[in-house]
Amino acid sequence: MASDTPTHQTATSDGAPSNERSNWWIRMLMWREKHLPDRTFVALLALVVGIASGLAAVLLKTLIGLIAGFLTSRFIIEQGNFLYLVFPAIGIALASLYVYYIAREPISHGVTRVLYALALKKSRLKIHNMYSSLIASSVTIGFGGSVGAEGPIVFTGAAIGSNLGQAFRLTPQKMAMLVACGAAAGIAGIFKAPIAGLLFTIEVLMLDLTAGAAIPLIIASVAGATVAYVFTGYNVEFFFSQSEPFYASRIPYVVLLGVFCGFVSLYFITLIDRIEARFKKLRNRWVRFVVGGLTLSVLIFLMPPLYGEGFDGITRLISGDVTGIFNNSLFYSYRDNTVAVLLFLFALGAFKVFATAATNGGGGVGGTFAPSLFVGCMAGVFFAYLFNHLGIIDPETPLSIKNFALMGMAGVMAGVMHAPLMGIFLTAEMTGGYDLFLPLLIVSASSYGICRIFTPYGIYSRRLAKRGELLTHQKDRSVLTLLKMDSVIEKDFSIIHPDMSLKDMVDVIAQSHRNLFPVIDDSGKLVGVVQLDDIRNIMFRPDLYRRIQVHRFMATPPAKVIVGTPMEKVMKTFDDIGAWNLPVVDEDGHYVGFVSKSKIFNSYRQVLKHYTYD
């Protein structure tokens, strides 16, 4: 970029000026703009992002597997292992130290942070986000942290897309597309599920899937999954063989399972929020670590399937091996007792939420994808096992433990994430259970419907929604979220004071191009407004000029807007009172300026055009 100030040029060893060599990137960007159309270039970048995110997913899974395998390979199946009391706490401590001293900013809740970047940071993520979550989560999960790798890989993939977009000076809407591509490729790579990766961007990131947006997302998702297939083989995440056919007569039980999963999802969302809120109230991070590490270690010692992502327990249950969940536990000898199996399944599903919240609250780094799958699997198996032993089901044709495990996974994920399509396709792609598509659809829809009655937002979006910082599929709401108060405040209003005479007021009017005047007291607080129409009948009466002061004819504004109020709430205030201008004040009532409908509408049109990818 040219500068008005002469730049001193120093020659390099090959005789080329150093400032010329430093400008090669700018020249390349100019060449790209001239020879590569935007759509083609974004599609190429989507491929690069997909491959890089797929590699990151493979690396993360490999690191977790290596660490967990090294630590637990010699554990004895038939008894409890006291090292479960040590390893999880060490993992949280290492991750916490890494975040505090190296990353130096919170990196947990990766999906929520991606949503925040899309809404309020113009899709910009820092360079260290491309690897920091990967490092911290591999240590957390490998040592037993009861969380998933999916949130961190979404954050990692999104950061790869964001930083690539920043390097090529892309516009915000194209940056958002690359962020979504990275997230989709991360999900596709970690689960070998390209369709689920695509649906994740629609249902969870709430990106509008226009014709122009579909191609880059598909390219990235397929690339991420392909990389995973190349390095880990063409096999599904969980091996599933449907040995029991699904009968139409089971549909009532499937609907009941869906309702059950809906309430389980509500339990999951509510409890995670409440427990993590309690951890935040602990100001000392070492206290949080001790509480979280102790809670997690005790829970894993008593219930070893809570270790890590819990995929080993899921694998056993969808293969029909219910007793396998007792391996490495103190309760191994009770594995053939029906009541013990039911109680253990219930406890695993109920306490997985505590273990996940304790991991993140104590300083670990991980997501809630895997925990929701785990809880769903436990819920489905518990449901089928309970009905099979209540005497309600014909013993000759019991409910399939394997089938209901899969349905439970889809149901709870659909409710927790508020993503029914992703719940269906992710479960089918991870297991190959496409023959169960109809019951998966019924359970996911039922669970989502029940959960939606009680909470309009999924686990990732509810934090931002409460603060009015969430982008949604509703264009109006999304654009208003992107609009910020500072950009629409108008400050060119002439200020008047309560003790001014009508004559002074008329003098101010003569110099102003506005017909609205804020009345400010000596401390700078807004005490009223004067509209030109309200004093038109007296402003041309000189006999009143010295007799009437402003406080006699000023009016109280119908409403005031506090600085920082979400724009959606501002527009609702406009609609409620039918005004076109509203005064803006700070928390103490000091006058700041005015917002007007016309200004917001103009800004709305600009933002809509700026952020829409077509």
Mean pLDDT of the chain: 84
SS3 content of the chain, % helix, strand, coil (to 5): 65, 5, 30
Q: Which two structure tokens, joined as six digits, stand for 520?
A: 């400010």
> What confidence tens digit (pLDDT) does each residue in 565-589 have?
777 777 778 778 877 788 888 888 8
Does residue 138 have a pLDDT over 50? yes
Express as a percent the part of the chain with pLDDT over 90: 40
- Domain 27-232 in CATH 3.30.70.250? The answer is no
Instruction: Tell me if 171 sits within 8 A of 203, measured CB to CB.
Output: no
Band of pLDDT at residue 119, cut at 50, 70 and 90: confident
CATH number for the 478-611 domain, one of 3.60.20.10, 3.10.580.10, 3.30.479.30, 3.40.50.1460?
A: 3.10.580.10
* Domain limits, CATH 3.10.580.10, in the chain: 478-611
Mean pLDDT in residue range 432-444 = 87
How many whole angstroms separate alpha carbon 545 and alpha carbon 503? 5
Q: Answer yes or no: is pLDDT of 416 > 70.
A: yes
Across 515-522, average pLDDT: 89
3-state class (DSSP) for residue 148: strand
Of 1.10.3720.10, 3.90.1580.10, 1.10.10.10, 1.10.3080.10, the CATH number of 248-474 is: 1.10.3080.10
* Res 13 pLDDT > 60: no
Alpha-carbon distance values, 506 to 193, 540, 547 (Å): 71, 9, 13
* Model pLDDT, residue 94: 94
Across 257-284, average pLDDT: 92
Q: What is the mean pLDDT of residues 460-488?
A: 59
Distance (Å) of CA 474 to CA 96, 417, 481, 483 = 38, 18, 11, 14
What is the residue whose two structure tokens read 């999954």? 225
Distance from C-alpha of 161 to C-alpha of 92, rounded to nearest angstrom? 28
More confident residue, 211 or 52: 52
Q: Quick one: pLDDT band at residue 209, thresholds 50, 70, 90?
A: low
pTM (2 d.p.) = 0.77
Over the stretch 103-116, which tens digit does the pLDDT of each residue have? 888 888 888 888 88
**Per residue in 318-349, pLDDT tens?**
888 888 888 888 888 888 898 999 999 999 99
Residue 8's pLDDT is 43
Residue 149, pLDDT > 80, answer yes
Which 3 state secondary structure label does DSSP give 526?
strand
Task: Find where tokens 């005790």 sit.
Answer: 298
**Three-class DSSP category at 11:** strand
Handedness of CA 385, 387, 392, 396 (dihedral sign): negative
The residue assigned the tokens 């010329």 is 20
For the chain, residues classed under CATH 1.10.3080.10 are 27-232, 248-474
d(CA 213, CA 390): 51
Question: What's the confidence (pLDDT) of residue 601?
Answer: 64
Q: Residue 545: pLDDT above 80?
A: no
pLDDT band at 472 (very low <50, low <70, confident <90, very high): very low
Number of alpha carbons in the 13 Å side-chain half-sphere of residue 252:
4
Q: What is the pLDDT of residue 19?
A: 52
In this model, does residue 478 exceed pLDDT 80? no
CB of 319 closer than 8 Å to CB of 110: no
Residue 539 reports pLDDT greater than 90: no
Do 350 and 268 touch, CB atoms closer than 8 A? no
Proportion of the chain above pLDDT 70, given as a percent: 88
pLDDT tens readout for residues 219-245: 999 999 999 999 988 887 777 776 677
What per-residue confidence (pLDDT) applies to 343? 95
Query: Alpha-carbon distance 278 to 588, whole Å?
Result: 30
- DSSP classification of residue 495: P
Specify the pLDDT at position 532: 86
The Cα–Cα gap between 28 and 35 comes to 10
pLDDT in tens, 353-392: 999 999 999 999 998 889 999 999 999 999 999 999 888 8
